[in-house]
A = this chain, B = another copy of it.
Amino acid sequence: MKTFEKKPINKIVRGSKRARYDQEQVYKILDSHFICHIPYVFEGTSIVIPTAYGRKEDSILIHGSLKNRMMLALLEQEKVSLNVTHLDGLVLARSVFHHSVNYRSVNVFGKARLIEADDEKMEALEIITENIIAGRWNEARIPNQKELDATLVMAIDIEDASAKVREVEAADEAADMDLDIWAGVLELEVQPGKLVANSDNKPGLAEPESAKNFRFSNNSVKRG
């Protein structure tokens, strides 16, 4: 099993017992989310907005319009990084100081490159779509040539990465253990809510299987 080398850029300095460098865990966290944050530099300021992604082997795939300011900036950068985080719970300690959150978080570092061949673009769009909501690609009308030409598709090749995971109960100071204060974890989950049909849908169309089967990955707290 591959392990990412610890370098200054990806080494977890604080809370190092929560660090994970094995590729299997890093990819598991990446594959159970679909929104990442990729900072880019505009006029000297680092800016970040969330964007959807998918993973193919050792690359993160993203897409946008031909004039997407973020993507065009990323292509100019020597190195690109991105973060993916699952927020799994609020850690309620006896002391405010030891309050925390449970999470699974990955940072990836690499270089951005354009994907230009039509077949590779199409494959990347399928991977991204299926990573957001499995089964949707085969339900919807896939991109035509005009739409493909209007889409910028990019890979960020994963050179370095690390994960940080907190998945345990609250940890208080020994001196606080006798306080009459409840400690524990309030788990948080991203859940599908209502499925709202378009007002202009053709009559009689069944709700899609992709939406009915949608699940977002969630972890549970481990007892200490």
Most B CB within 10 A of own CB, among A37, A67, A186, A194: A186
| Stretch of A23-31, A53-61, A135-143 that contacts chain B | A135-143
Across the interface, which residues of B come within 8 angstroms of A208, CB to CB? 92, 182
**Contacts known (A35-B87, A52-B101, A92-B133); A69 close to B199, Cβ less than 8 A:** no
Chain A, 197-224, contact with B by CB distance < 8 Å: what is the 0/1 string?
1111110011110110010101011011
Across the interface, which residues of B come within 8 angstroms of A16, CB to CB? none
Chain copies in the assembled complex: 2
> Do A141 and B95 touch across chains, with their CB atoms under 8 A apart?
yes
Chain A, 58-82, contact with B by CB distance < 8 Å: what is the 0/1 string?
0000000101110000000111111
> Do A83 and B191 touch across chains, with their CB atoms under 8 A apart?
no
Q: How far is the CA of A59 from the CA of B109 in the complex (A)?
A: 31
Decide yes or no whether A183 CB sits under 8 A from chain B.
yes
> Do B184 and A44 touch across chains, with their CB atoms under 8 A apart?
no
Decide yes or no whether A1 CB sits under 8 A from chain B.
no
> Do A169 and B198 touch across chains, with their CB atoms under 8 A apart?
yes
User: Which B-chain residue is minimally distant from A7 (CB atoms)?
Assistant: B43
Chain A 132-169 interface residues, beta-carbon cutoff 8 Å to B: 132-133, 136-137, 139-143, 147, 151, 169
Chain A 4-35 interface residues, beta-carbon cutoff 8 Å to B: 8-9, 13-14, 35
